[in-house]
Structure 1
């Protein structure tokens, strides 16, 4: 027959073993998280569409134009989210920073060309003015 002190000691040992097992499980989970899942690794190499828009100051359609032209590259997909390669985005921003800013030219009004020669137009104007 066991005494009350021995029962408490066995109970404490069982609790200690359970805690040790839980601690090992937590350490195992922590190790998995610290090595980073593939989605987080892809996140480091890619930028979301919205972040790319904010960085470039343009809209979604312009981002797709840059992807089509080859100025930007697609990054790894994370779930359903389309990602832009971070390196290609940085390279594009560097190119934009290095290029000297060109002054905007004023737009000239369109010239209307009716297909008539100078003498024909002058003759028509003369007839109109006489009337």
Structure 2
């Protein structure tokens, strides 16, 4: 009986080692693909919204804001996927690189109503109205 148990353990170890090697290979391929995506996007005529998000480092809603404002141009649709013209993306990145960063303005605190205006208007109304 011990012979069968040891044989099964050896088979399981071999399967585990094979799976570990496959997992490592898949991770390497995934890393290569994710690193190559921006380079491929730079050479393409149009990029997907997801690629534009990656290149600009912003969210999907910001991409659509830029499309509405005209900062980005839509490219041809590929199936159901919306595409963005790569030249407009490059132009946007160049504009961002050239523009100096504007300092943020400090917000003024809201004026508090001290009530003096109400008292003054009440006093004026007393003088104007006949008693």
TM-score scaled by length of structure 1: 0.51
Note the aligned Cα RMSD (angstroms). Answer: 2.9
Q: Does 1:67 align with 2:39?
A: no
In structure 1, the residue matched to 2:29 is none
Distance change in 2, residues 1:93/1:115 (3 Å): farther
Q: Report the secondary structure of 1:90's partner residue.
A: helix
Deviation at 1:79, TM superposition (A): 1.3
Q: Which runs of 5+ in 2 are unaligned?
A: 1-42, 121-131
SS at match of 1:50: helix
Render the CA deviation track for 1:8-34: whole Å, top value 9, x for unaligned: xxxxxxxxxxxxxxxxxxxxxxxxxxx
Aligned equivalent of 1:52: 52
What do the CA deviations read for 1:33-61 (whole angstroms, capped 9, x no partner)? Answer: xxxxxxxxxx9210110111111121111
Unpaired runs of 5+ residues, structure 1, are 1-42, 121-131
Give the structure 1 partner of residue 87 of structure 2: 87
Q: In the alignment, what sits opposite 2:109?
A: 109
Paired residue secondary structure (2:44): helix
Cα distance between partner residues in 2 of 1:67 and 1:116:
50
- Alignment partners' CA distance in 1, 2:114 and 2:45: 57
- SS of the residue corresponding to residue 47 of structure 1 reads strand
| SS of residue matched to 1:117 | helix
For normalisation by structure 2, the TM-score amounts to 0.51
